[in-house]
Chains A and B, each alone.
Chain A
């Protein structure tokens, strides 16, 4: 019956073949290599694309580098852009730790800028350091207040914070448009839909960038310390990973959710103050420059890690800066957006690819 004799079927000398397999754990080094490679691939793709469209690739590359990191002006621009991005990125990342999506960084940013502007415009004059501290505090508190309703709704009623934070963003944004164009409008230059110039400015650092970058990095460092090394941070992470386990361990989940969301709003609000006193100096519509929204992809690419947020935000700042410089060199806004999107996509792909590895195995 058996058509084939059994010795024929015994495995012949095993042939070696490459096989893809999934790693149980991805270490930092591997991930860094993946990011490095994704950058390289991006450079090649963008370079090739620009070359095909007969842009002067070399020129563009040189100018892009000098516009971001290669010159002191460029570096200063990059750091100035990075400051609010680090804060809004951290705002989203800290909420991610407890499984919450704060989509409304824009709103908290606006409301924070509004509160800081109010302090700067209407309180009696004082020494700059004092007034700036007051404005920062007002902005942080305002940012936190702007997320109180979503936080309580989420913690006690289970209302999706994704929707509430997002919708409140529009409210804050329109509120600022209304004030800047209406009641708070600059009486001296009424043609501009903005408030009067706020006299208090964040002090400049040596190279021309303002203090905001240090405030942002400091805030993120303190937060990271608490999240990673305190009991509170541990409880947040447990509650974010598995609610049932948090209940089992006796962790007060609702309190932690509210605390984390308030901190999240506070960070975004502070970003609003930094942008106001460091760059724009007037409250005006569109002051957020999308920083609040950009916090979301920054935190997502950083995988919720705060160190990651600082790095990725810096990276986004470079990217935004390159975008501006590319536009001055004849690329359309859409091409710039496309190029930025491509990078995000490649990074996300690299992140996934880092989980896999090739291995040589014997096959039949």
Chain B
């Protein structure tokens, strides 16, 4: 990769225009972590510049420096060729750098117009609903971005909220727009719309920094791509010259081996069976509707479908978190319909929950306390009513080793771990418990390539050891590469079941609710 390191890339139009923004030799470190080391980055007018890297590669830190949230330990920032110093976010905004964060910074109860004018220098002293609406409409027109001025934020979809954020940045004079993993929260359709907006903005001379770790969209939208790894810039390449494999290798630092581990033939025995299971629906989300489903040992069952069609209910029912209103559940022949989560864990059912921060780990508690969450009632972690501290320490050390997570201390709160490491931690903990079955909801969501790889191989290893594995995912590619059998959920029912070889079109139709006429 040394030849890429020093490669000088000519500007797309061959002119010698200075970059709109340039960062040189940026260093930034936090206690125990070097987040950025000698990073150079230049962004030209009218380009989409992707910033690619795994979780913890230093993308967010670099952008936080560019937006004045952090100050670099060393290095300079130039805007239009002039050195600048951003001491606070307002400095960056004044220099035309705007950012749309992954988690939107909008007041949920306020309307779009109110959010746009909140803390805005140009907001008139006296405002009324009508004035705000008119000003918002002007802004919509000026930047040709449609929003609904009078709608409160909480009514809007993620895509619409994002447009408000973009308009907010533009209205404050942003010439460079930084989008932090903008598609992470969007549906496919919304993502397509966002790309259209980005293309139009760059055509109008705005520049966009596009942070992502999804290779497809990076190749699709950007003009140039800068890859970061472990806080260092690895390369800047023209998107036209790049492909998947090359970018993945740059990101990870070694060749990525693609999936498809063949499954060994083992005895296939039913582990958990749902019979005519129905759960209550709440607030417009449909519950399960008379589902019959059996998980078999030594098999990965993929659950496909558009989110909100009963996935959460299914995983919660299979782990004892949501008792069914009708029907029965049994584990290896024993009826557990009315049991709580503890019984399921003791029966050997592991659970990687859909939202690990909310329900998989207690963020403020130590690594040790989070590690023993599933096994503390048993020896060796406890003795009678007492916990055994020494055993817990051995346990957490072993767990961190399996999870391949390096932590400075096991007494620090688990929220100090990165998102990827938290997920590895949960996967390792649940894998230990899952002697019969593992229910994994979106196990690789938000993970980078390396972490995704470890999680997937953990699932495959478990399957090969004879455990029943169920994977819920919205990533069809992931399901196709992992699953032995696939079901599609639609409206709380299993609308179809398929074995390999897969037919994508057929699966796509099922996910859209087209009735299955093969069975």
Neighbouring A residues of B351 by C-beta, 8 Å: 248
**Given contacts A2-B81, A232-B385, are A241 and B359 in contact (CB under 8 A)?**
no
Instruction: Count chain A CB atoms within 10 A of each CB in B73, B353, B361 and give the residue with the most.
Output: B73
Give chain A's interface secondary structure class: mixed
Neighbouring B residues of A362 by C-beta, 8 Å: 27, 73-74
Specify the chain B residue showing the minimal Cβ separation from A248: B359
Give residues 11-29 of A contacting B (CB, 8 Å). Answer: 11, 14, 21, 23-25
CA distance A361 to B31 in the complex (A): 11
**Given contacts A11-B75, A362-B74, are A23 and B31 in contact (CB under 8 A)?**
yes
**Given contacts A1-B17, A25-B409, A241-B362, are A234 and B387 in contact (CB under 8 A)?**
yes
Neighbouring A residues of B75 by C-beta, 8 Å: 11, 364
Query: A242 contacts the other chain (Cβ, under 8 Å)?
Result: yes
Neighbouring A residues of B73 by C-beta, 8 Å: 14, 361-364
Give residues 232-275 of A contacting B (CB, 8 Å). Answer: 232-234, 237-238, 241-242, 244-245, 247-252
Neighbouring A residues of B373 by C-beta, 8 Å: 238, 245, 248-249
CA distance A21 to B28 in the complex (A): 13
Chain B nearest CB from A17 CB (Å) reads 9
Contact B353 A248 (CB under 8 A): yes
Query: A122 contacts the other chain (Cβ, under 8 Å)?
Result: no
Contact B382 A231 (CB under 8 A): yes
CA distance A298 to B120 in the complex (A): 43
Specify the chain A residue showing the minimal Cβ separation from B15: A1
Neighbouring B residues of A4 by C-beta, 8 Å: 81-83
**Given contacts A363-B74, A364-B72, are A248 and B341 in contact (CB under 8 A)?**
yes
Chain A nearest CB from B136 CB (Å) reads 38
CA distance A226 to B413 in the complex (A): 22
Query: A10 contacts the other chain (Cβ, under 8 Å)?
Result: yes
Contact A1 B342 (CB under 8 A): no
Query: B499 contacts the other chain (Cβ, under 8 Å)?
Result: no
Residue in contact with B24 in the complex, picked from A1, A9, A249, A361, CB distance below 8 Å? A9
Specify the chain B residue showing the minimal Cβ separation from A245: B362
Specify the chain A residue showing the minimal Cβ separation from B345: A250
Residue in contact with B363 in the complex, picked from A1, A24, A237, A242, CB distance below 8 Å? A242
Give residues 351-397 of B contacting A (CB, 8 Å). Answer: 351, 353, 358-365, 369, 372-374, 376-377, 382, 385-387, 389
Residue in contact with B412 in the complex, picked from A24, A232, A233, A252, CB distance below 8 Å? A24
Neighbouring A residues of B71 by C-beta, 8 Å: 363
Neighbouring B residues of A245 by C-beta, 8 Å: 359-362, 373
Residue in contact with A231 in the complex, picked from B24, B78, B386, CB distance below 8 Å? B386
CA distance A341 to B408 in the complex (A): 38
Query: B256 contacts the other chain (Cβ, under 8 Å)?
Result: no
Residue in contact with B377 in the complex, picked from A231, A248, A252, A364, CB distance below 8 Å? A231
Neighbouring B residues of A238 by C-beta, 8 Å: 362, 365, 369, 373
Neighbouring B residues of A160 by C-beta, 8 Å: none
Specify the chain B residue showing the minimal Cβ separation from A238: B362
Contact A248 B31 (CB under 8 A): no
Neighbouring B residues of A6 by C-beta, 8 Å: 24
Contact B74 A9 (CB under 8 A): no
Query: A3 contacts the other chain (Cβ, under 8 Å)?
Result: yes
Contact A250 B385 (CB under 8 A): no
Neighbouring A residues of B18 by C-beta, 8 Å: 1-2
Query: B126 contacts the other chain (Cβ, under 8 Å)?
Result: no
Query: A230 contacts the other chain (Cβ, under 8 Å)?
Result: yes
Specify the chain B residue showing the minimal Cβ separation from A246: B362
Contact A364 B362 (CB under 8 A): no
CA distance A6 to B373 in the complex (A): 56
Query: B25 contacts the other chain (Cβ, under 8 Å)?
Result: yes
**Given contacts A11-B75, A24-B412, A361-B73, are A248 and B321 in contact (CB under 8 A)?**
yes
Residue in contact with B81 in the complex, picked from A1, A14, A359, CB distance below 8 Å? A1
10 contacts between A and B (CB under 8 A): A9-B78, A11-B74, A14-B73, A25-B411, A238-B373, A242-B364, A248-B351, A248-B359, A249-B345, A250-B341
The 3 closest A-B pairs by CB, nearest first: A250-B342, A250-B341, A241-B362
- Known A-B contacts: A231-B387, A238-B369. Give 19 more (CB < 8 A): A4-B82, A9-B78, A25-B409, A25-B411, A229-B387, A231-B377, A231-B382, A232-B385, A237-B365, A237-B369, A241-B362, A247-B341, A248-B321, A248-B359, A249-B341, A249-B373, A361-B29, A362-B27, A364-B73
Which residues does A use to contact B, with CB under 8 Å? 1-4, 6, 9-11, 14, 21, 23-25, 229-234, 237-238, 241-242, 244-245, 247-252, 359, 361-364
